[in-house]
Amino acid sequence: MSHAFDDDLGIAPADHEPGPGPLPLEDDLPDPADFITNVEEYTADVPVTVPWVCSPIAYSGGVSMLAGPAKGGKSSLAANLQRCRETGGRFLGTWDVATGPTLLVTEEGGVAVVYKTDGLHRLDILDRRTALEGRLTFAQTLALIGRWSETHSGGLVFIDTLAIWAGIEDENDAAKVTAALGAVMALAQSTGLAIILVHHTRKGGGDHGEAIRGSGAMLGTVDIALELTYTGDERYPDERYLTVQGRVILPERYRLSFDRLSKTYGMADMEARDAAETDDDLAGVALDGPGMTTVDLRNLWGKDPRRQIEKYIRARRLRVESASEGRSHALRYWRLPPRSLWSGEP
């Protein structure tokens, strides 16, 4: 299988690219049958279902982009998927991963790579230092990946980061970005590789993929966009949101929790956390006695308690009664135990 790319950007020669130009003479008009295909013929060689390597992260023949803030956990998340490719474990403890060959094309090197890939044995690595010593252009790097795919069927490739490897100095240069992404897309489609590009997001952030740094071509061209962001919750600094959107999936957002001991991400157990936070909030509220007023709860929680009061009453963790105080009436509150502790409950 041959993989021809332009020396600078890894794209097909310019005179082979579709684009505006002078209208052809009548004798030069192409035969529609050479270019236009009936849908049944078109789909004959296309899988009936999406050939997922890991749903909804990456699929064979597709290009995904994992974007996030610098030093925000992108490479660690990628390393978790690389580990699942080797061990057969479920990514984030949730999604099945097809085991198979994996290639990491990384701008990092040495200790940083070893730290994140500790314990792996079947991962292949091309680091930036080796590429620079060999004077590889981006086109040659992509061609090298294409050659690798010939002996590594069903391969998954990480390119970390796209801007460094493609030499994109101005990420708002739509032409250069589109050319680089087009080359990667062509490589994925011609080889059947699943490719994940690692990229940075803007410091100012944004919604629906708008935080992805650089030209809008970044988000518009890739098949799947994965955005890793901080939650903004200072109580849980090691947690991230992962927003996933793409051509073959509906948009979803997941909350991840990072375990520093195992250096792995998993889905945050929001139900368990909510129960723990509820117990913490209600620990200072008595089960009996005179009860607590709204002012007492404000002082206990250090904030306006109305939203929490409503939440805990709905959850049947807080009891409220109207008590007479002279000529007026005041609401008083008592803690209720979890339903599993009620008499008669299993």
Q: What angle do CA 89, 184, 116 make, to 5 degrees?
A: 35
The predicted pLDDT at position 327 comes to 66
Burial pattern 89-123, b for ≥16 Cβ within 10 A else e, equals: bebbeeeebbbbbbbbbbbbeeeebeebbeebeeb
Sequence-separated (6 or more) residues with CB below 8 Å from residue 257:
236, 238, 239, 265, 266, 267, 268, 269
Q: What angle do CA 317, 318, 321 make, to 5 degrees?
A: 150
Give the pLDDT band (50/70/90) at residue 33: confident
CA distance 198 to 138: 15
Average of per-residue pLDDT values in the chain: 85
Tokens of 206: 């944004």
User: What are the residue ranges of CATH 3.40.50.300 in the chain?
Assistant: 14-268
The predicted pLDDT at position 23 comes to 63
pLDDT reading at 26 higher than 80: no
CA distance 339 to 346: 9
Say which residue, 112 or 126, is predicted with more confidence.
126
pLDDT digits (tens, 9 = 90+) for 172-205: 787 888 899 999 999 999 999 999 999 887 555 4
Indicate the fold that domain 271-341 takes in CATH: Arc Repressor Mutant, subunit A (1.10.10)
Say which residue, 5 or 164, is predicted with more confidence.
164
Task: Say what the pTM is.
Answer: 0.75
Express as a percent the part of the chain with pLDDT over 70.
Answer: 84
Give the pLDDT band (50/70/90) at residue 223: very high
pLDDT digits (tens, 9 = 90+) for 123-153: 999 999 999 999 999 999 999 999 999 999 9
Task: Give the residue among 128, 152, 150 at the shortest CA–CA distance from 141.
Answer: 128
User: What are the residue ranges of CATH 1.10.10.10 in the chain?
Assistant: 271-341
pLDDT digits (tens, 9 = 90+) for 7-23: 454 444 444 455 566 66
**Is the peptide bond between 69 and the residue preceding it cis, with omega within 30 degrees of 0?**
no
Question: What superfamily does domain 14-268 belong to in CATH?
Answer: P-loop containing nucleotide triphosphate hydrolases (3.40.50.300)
CA distance 272 to 96: 23
Cα–chain-centroid distance for residue 151?
A: 28
pLDDT digits (tens, 9 = 90+) for 266-289: 999 878 878 888 899 999 999 999
